[in-house]
Structures are given as structure tokens and as C-alpha cells.
Structure 1
Amino acid sequence: MPKADIVSWNILLNAHAQNGHFQETRMVFYNMPAWDICSFNTMLAACCKFDKLQDAKTIFQAMQEQDLISWNIILHMYSKQQWFELVKKFFETMPLHNAISMTIMLMTYSQAGDVEAARFVLDSTKEHNLTLWNAMLIAYIQNGHLSEATKIFSSTLREKDTSSSNTMVTAYAQSGHVDQAQKLFNEMPVRDIVSWTAMLSAYAQVGRLEEAQRIFHSMPKHNSFTWTAMLAAYAQNGQSIKCIEFFHEMGIVESPNDVCFTCVLQSCSHTGDMRRGLPYFLSITLDYAIDCPKKQHFSCMIDLLARGGYLEDAKDLLSFMPFAPLASDWRCLLKRPDVSFQQ
């Protein structure tokens, strides 16, 4: 077999990184006979994806020469950690900036709640691309400035893509403006799975389940997100029986995830139906190979046990679950006057 060249090594490195195998990616990287800029950037991106900060800093500092991709990866990593001051300092030390750098900075300011600084980044950028404008839309919406986002979308943004429209549909939905969301949804020349799911959730949020069902059945295709959104719609609107029936219907074509189980347990909790709820809680690991029940599953079970009158069991689960109890968990028991917390 001929000796592997740098291209072959980089393909193997990228394959492990893309498939989420960080330790294998790291092992391949450090066993490579030589590295090029592609090798370094692939490893940096893997470190960023898995929040391996020290590894990323060590590799970045060891590089004889970094390109703009390298700088942007580290900038993004700091932004992910919400280290706002460090992001700004690192940005100032960068030898060059491009649209990606500016978008990262805009979103960083948005996360910090500084919309004016985010807008300054946009206005100081020489070339405005659609990604940057979409980031500004999200910044306004996340910080409660829907009217400013609407101005950009309706007046300033001459060219729009599906992402732009999806952002606004979701914003209208979350603000309770379902008719505006539907109007924009109808005007979209191209809709993707995000568009359909956003519209379904919009109707569910205001209790219009028939419209949510109509959207679900009108979708050209379904995936785990659309099934979960419809399941959540039933759970949020107190439709326990339909939620459980839909869960089993979903199980025929799609494996339930942890969010699906949260929806089902919430439905059982609302009715205090211990007989139905406990088997679903136990089946999370026994039947569906999900690693372990999450914190929200335990919280649902504590509420379910308390509502069903199994107060000692609820106390035991709260005391021995592998998570720190939240105030909401205690309230499930404190609202019951017949519960004692003496040890």
C-alpha cells in the first residue's frame, strides 16, 4: 500500500471530525507525519465544536502561520463561551476581518444585549451580505425589537432568502402575531422544514390546534423536529390522550427523543395519571436506548407523583435523583399541605 500523503491524512481527520469523534480526531492529528493549514483548521474546528478550549489555544499558538479561517474559529469559540471582553480583545488583534468575523461580532453583541453595538458592526461593514443582515434580524428579535426587525425585513432588505423569512415567521409567532406569521408564510416562494415547523408552533402557542394539525398534515415531509413540534402542541394545550396517541403514531416512523418524552410526561402530569406516566419514564432507557432520563424528565415525574398523591415517592425521587432540585421541583411538594420535610 502506498504511503499516505497529507491529503489522505486530512480526509481521515475531517471524517472523524464530521462524525463527532473528537478523541479519534485528536489521535489522528497527533499521529500525522506533517500538518498543513487545512490540518490545523480542521482540528481547531473540532475543538470549537466540542468546547475543547485549551486544546484549541495550544494548537493555535503552535501554528507557524494562521489564516483568516483560523482566527475566525477562535473568535467563534470565545463567542460561544460568551466571553464578551475576550472576544472584543481578540477581534482587535486580528490582522484581517471578513464578513464571517463581522457576523460573529454582531451576534456576540446581540448575546450581550447590546443591540446598538451590534448595529454599529453592521453599519461599519463595507460589504453587507445576506448572512450579516439575517444576523441583525435575529439580534433585534432576540432583544425584543420586533418593529426594528420588521423595518429591515420589509424596507431595507431587498433580497431575502428562506432563512430571512423563517426568522420573521418565528418572531411573529413568538410574539403572538399569528396572522402576520401566516401572511408571510403564504408569501414565501420556497418553504423548508423550519418554515412549516415555525408555523405549526405559532398556531399551537395560541391554542389553535386544528390549524396546527392542518399545517402538520400539509407538510411535504416530516422529520423528528416536525413530529416533536406537533407532540408539544398537544402537550402544551392539555390534550393528554391525543399526545399519547400521537407519540405511538410517531414511534412507527421516527424514534422518539428526550423532548418527546418530556411532552408525554407533562401530559400525564397534568392529569395525575401515574398509571400511564411511570411506564414512559422507565422506558426512556429500557426501550429507547436514550442514555438516561434528563433533568426535565425527573421534574415531570416529581410533579406527576405529587399530583397523583404519591407524596412519599415524590419526596424520595426529589432527594435521590442525580440532579440538584430546582425551586419548581420543591413547589410541586410544598403546594401539598400534607407533606412533611422532616428528616
Structure 2
Amino acid sequence: MAEARRLFDQMPVRDLVSWNTLIGGYVRRGLPGEALEVFWRMAEDGTLAPDEVTMIGVVSGCGQLRDLELGKRFHGYVESNGVRCTVRLMNVLMDMYVKCGDLERAKSVFERIDGKTVVSWTTMIVAYTKFGLMDDARRVFDEMPERDAFPWNALMAGYVQCKQGKEALGLFHEMQEAKVRPDEITMVNILSACSQLGALEMGMWVHHYIDRHRLSLSVTLGTNLVDMYAKCGNIEKAIHVFKDLPEKNALTWTAMLCGLANHGRADEAIQYFRRMIELGLQPDEITFIGVLSACCHAGLVKEGRDFFSLLVSKYHLERKMKHYSCMIDLLGRAGHLDEAEHLVNTMPMEPDAVVWGALFFACRMHGNITLGERAAMKLVELDPSDSGIYVLLANMYVEAGMKKKADKVRVMMRHLGVEKVPGCSCIELNGVVHEFIVKDKSHTDSDAIYDCLHDITQQIRHTANMIDICATG
């Protein structure tokens, strides 16, 4: 762009095409400030009136800057000055409003577009997914007259962002039935959904698909494969994929060390962190969540304190809630309850349920009833309807031999109308994730499932009885 700008500045006469080319070039390279500076120079010159191409450039720049007010001004200029409103310009206006968080204006523009393109429909899908309105996103998707991979990917990504991995996998199966060829973005979305659900079988199918169709294993795709295998329980395969990747970035290393940390392999996670630093890669906040989790799993208090300090002192990162919860969990598990409580009380943000929960579990582990009660009351304040904390508090009292207090908690639950949330579990079978809730009979094969469960229970009881007979014989 520097050379293009130099040539532009040397031009004795500039026409509208030259102004638009420079503005568009800056926007395409993610330099919206420079694009707008050129536009204001053009406006000051006053010899040329902006056209729809000019507006596409400056409105795109407003979207990149998340400058809603300026974007609205340009939209007003378009409407009041007779600028030709092409579908492409309308799409860019929609995109700007979506990026700036104004869903209503994005909808208004969408509804006024004659001859909507795939880009128009896809932008509206993205708008709804950004606000978590997945039913509306699906409705727009279903109304599309034709679809390529882009709207499929947009809706799939929305499901993943909203932690609806099961719906994302279901949409992928629909995509296959529609004979739409998945691309790298599809694979990334599906791997993320598998990671959320622990769907190893489906994740392995995606890996085989990538190999079979010789898709280029980009850094992003490779990182998601590592993350999927780690989160789905196959850490050895995650390590194997990581080592075979032709290219890795800081996110790849972070996925690997977080996976190792979650599998309790703290020493290896810390080694990966140090190797990453040796390679000159910059850790981010998630990297430090990984190493702090590793320290927590292994009880490495000194190392945890060091990493917690380095995060700010050396790497100039901001401590997030998760960093504090990891550190409090580490200190609490190690029995440093006073230090853990002090850290909670000196946090720059209001502690959330995860932080108070970490302190509570530490108190329960070490039998500190007084501090445990304080933490429990904070959890109740945050969510009085959460049955889990009442159950845990009652269990803490039972473990401490304080049966009367435990009974009082149960009475309180009944008085407040708080009910224990039914347990939920899921399994993956033939690439499909099945969800089960306690006493739920909504599954199509529930009768057969309960018959099978009854048979297994009987076998367990029979085996237990045989063991008892052998032991007493």
C-alpha cells in the first residue's frame, strides 16, 4: 500500500476511480482509518461526488472500526444524495450494522433488498447467530432459494458459538444429504462441535475425510484436530497429530498444552509452554489458563504463583476471571485457604460462581466449615435457584458430622421450592450423540433402553451376590 499511496500522491489529476481504488485497497488490507482519511481528503477536494463504490469502501471501513454513528451517517448520505443502492452496497450496509451490533437496522436493510444474493442471506444468518437467535437464523436459512457452502457454514458456526454442538452435527448431516461439498471452514466447525460433545468417533471420521480428500492441513484445521482429540479423551492421538503438523502457531501450542493439562500431564504441559517460549511464540490469556490448570492438577503451588505473576509482569496480559479461579483452586487444594480467600477479596472484578465454587470445594476438602459457609452463601446470592450449592452444602455438613445443619439446608430447599436438577449424560453411537436425562422417556428407543438397563442391573446384583458368597465361604 505504501507504493500505491506514493503513486497516488504523485498523480497530477485524480479521477473517481483512483480515489475509490485507494480507499478500497486500504479497507481490503484492514486499514480502515487510512481509508477514511483518504475519503475525507476527497470530500475536502470537492470536485468529485462519491458513488456506490466509494460508499462500499467507507461503509466497510466503519464496520471494521465498529463505528456505528459514522456508518449511520454514510447510510444517510446514500439515501439523501441519490447514490445508486446496488445489492452489493446494501450487503455492505447490512454487514456494517451486524458488526456494530445493530440487529434492527441490519434487518431493515435486508428486508429492502430486491434480488437478494447468497451474501445477503448469509449476512442475515450471521446477524442472528451473533445475537444467539438460532431459531431465527434457521428460519432465514430455510427460506433461502439456493445455498452454497457459505450459509451452511454460517449457521453451523452459530450453533457451535451457542454451544449447540448436537445441532451443528445434525446440520452437517443435512449438508451431506444435500450433496453440498464441505470445505475447510465446515471441517473446523464440525471439529469444534465434536470437541464440545466429546464425540470422538465423529471427530475421527472428519480426520479421515480430511486425509481421504487430501484437504490442505492448515494451521487452523490442524489446531482444531489437536483440540478435538485432546477434549475427546485421546491425548496420545492429539500429540501424534501435533508432532506431524507441518506448521504450528501459538494457538496450536496452546491447544496442545491445555490438552495435556486437562489430562493431568502437568510436567509435559509446562515443558510445551517453555518450548513455545523458546521458539519466540507469544502466549495469550488462554495459554496461561492451560499452564495454571497444569499446576493446579499437579499441586505445583510455587510454579503456579510464578506463572500467575509472569502473565502480567513479563507478557503484559490482563488477568481474567479464569486465571483467578485456577489460582484459587490451586491454592485451595494445597491447603492455603487464607491466601486463596485473600486473592478472592482482592480481585479487580466481582468473583463469579466458578471462583466461589473453587474456594468452597477447597474448604470442603480441608474441613474448613466457617469459610466454606461464607463461600456457599456467596454462591446462593449469585443464583438462589441453583439446587447444586444447597446439595453440596448439605453434603459438607454431613461429612463434618453436622447432621442437624444438613437437615436445615434440605428444609430450606423445600421451603424455597428449589429442586435438584436431574442428572444428564450422553453417548456417541455411529456418529450420533444421544442425550439421556434421569427418568426421561422421550427417546424413541426408551423401552428397549430401560429393558437393557434392567438386565445390566440384575447382572451387577448377581455378580455382587456371588462375590459376597465367595467372601463368606
Q: Per the alignment, do residues 47 and 300 of structure 1 end up closer, same or farther by CA in structure 2, a change over 3 Å counting?
A: farther
Q: CA deviation at 1:136?
A: 4.2
Tell me whether 1:163 sits opposite 2:189 in the alignment. no
Cα pair 1:182 1:199 within 8 Å, conserved? no
TM, length-normalised to structure 1: 0.83
Pick aligned residue for 2:95 from 76, 97, 103: 76
* Structure 1 residues 80 and 21: alpha-carbon distance in aligned structure 2, compared to 1, 3 A threshold: closer
Distance between the aligned counterparts of 1:56 and 1:275, measured in 2?
51
- The Cα of 1:157 is off from its aligned counterpart by 2.2
Matching residue of 1:191: 216
For 2:306, the equivalent position in structure 1 comes to 279
180, 191, 196: which one pairs with 1:174?
196
Offset of 1:155 from its aligned partner? Answer: 1.8
Q: Which amino acid aligns with 1:328?
A: V
Q: Which residue of 1 aligns with 2:272?
A: 246
Aligned positions, number: 341
Higher Rg of the two aligned structures: 2
Instruction: Describe how 1:5-44 pairs up with structure 2 within 5 A.
Output: 5=14, 13=23, 17=27, 25-32=35-42, 33=45, 35-44=50-59
Partner of 2:438: none
The answer to whether structure 1 residue 236 and structure 2 residue 262 are counterparts is yes
TM-score (norm 2): 0.63
Residue in 2 that maps onto 1:300: 326
Q: Which residue of 1 aligns with 2:62?
A: 47
User: Does the C-alpha gap of structure 1 residues 261 and 127 become closer, same or farther in structure 2, counting only changes over 3 Å?
Assistant: same
Give the 3 Å change call, closer, same or farther, for CA 2–156 of structure 1 in structure 2.
Answer: closer
User: Shift of the alpha carbon at 1:234?
Assistant: 1.0
Residues 298 and 151 of structure 1, relative CA distance in 2, 3 Å threshold = closer
Distance 2:209 2:326 in 1: 40
Once the two structures are superposed, residues 36-92 of structure 1 have per-residue CA deviations (whole angstroms, 9 ceiling, x without a partner) of: 544433332232223221121112212332433332233224434665444333321
Cα offsets for 1:129-187 (capped at 9, x unmatched): 22123334445665432563243233212433233333334333433221232123212
Cα distance in structure 2, aligned partners of 1:300 and 1:83: 36
Aligned equivalents of 1:145 and 1:191: distance in 2? 26
Q: Please identify, of 195-204 and 224-233, the stretch whose mean Cα deviation from structure 2 is larger.
A: 195-204
Deviation at 1:297, TM superposition (A): 2.4
Q: Which residue of 289, 294, 310 maps to 1:262?
A: 289
| Contact kept? 2:64, 2:99, Cα under 8 Å | no
Cα distance, 1:272 vs structure 2: 3.7
> Does 1:214 pair with 2:229?
no
* 1:157–1:261 distance in 2 versus 1, CA, 3 Å: same
For structure 2, the residue ranges without an aligned partner over 5 or more in a row are: 1-9, 376-473
Q: Which amino acid in the other structure matches residue 76 of structure 1? A: D
Residue equivalent to 2:399 = none
* 1:113, distance to aligned residue in structure 2 (A): 5.9
2:445 alignment counterpart = none
Q: 1:8 to 1:94 in 2, by over 3 A?
A: same
Confirm or deny: 8 A CA contact 2:260 2:269 kept in the other structure. yes
Q: What is the aligned counterpart of 2:154 among 131, 135, 138?
A: 135
* Alpha carbons of structure 1 residues 85 and 339: separation in structure 2 relative to 1, 3 Å: same
Of the structure 1 ranges 209-218 and 10-19, higher mean CA displacement relative to structure 2 is found in 10-19
Comparing 76-85 with 206-215, which one deviates more in the overlay?
Answer: 76-85
| Amino acid across the alignment from 1:281 | F
| Shift in alpha-carbon separation, 1:272–1:117, aligned structure 2, 3 A | same
Aligned to 1:145: 167
For the 8 Å contact 2:257–2:272, the answer to whether it is kept is yes
> Comparing 225-234 with 152-161, which one deviates more in the overlay?
152-161
In the alignment, which of 39, 46, 58 is matched to residue 73 of structure 2? 58
* Partner AA of 1:107 in structure 2: V
- Which stretches in structure 1 are left out of the alignment for 5+ residues? none
**Alignment RMSD, CA only?**
3.2
Q: Contact between 1:45 and 1:73, CA under 8 Å: does it hold in 2?
A: yes
- Residues 110 and 139, structure 1, Cα contact 8 Å, conserved in 2: yes
Q: C-alpha distance in 2, partners of 1:308/1:13?
A: 58
CA contact (8 A) 1:285 1:291 kept: yes
Could you tell me how far 1:239 is from its partner in structure 2?
Answer: 1.6
State the alpha-carbon separation in 2 of the partners of residues 124 and 304 from structure 1. Answer: 51
| Residues 1:7 and 1:271: Cα distance change in structure 2 (over 3 Å) | farther
Percent identical residues: 26
Deviates more, 1:42-51 or 1:117-126: 117-126
Task: Tell whether 2:360 aligns with 1:331.
Answer: no
User: How far apart, in 2, do the equivalents of 1:10 and 1:312 lie?
Assistant: 63
Amino acid at match of 2:124: M
How far is 1:4 from its partner? Answer: 7.4
Q: Which amino acid aligns with 1:246?
A: Y
Distance 2:40 2:154 in 1: 36
Deviates more, 1:75-84 or 1:218-227: 75-84
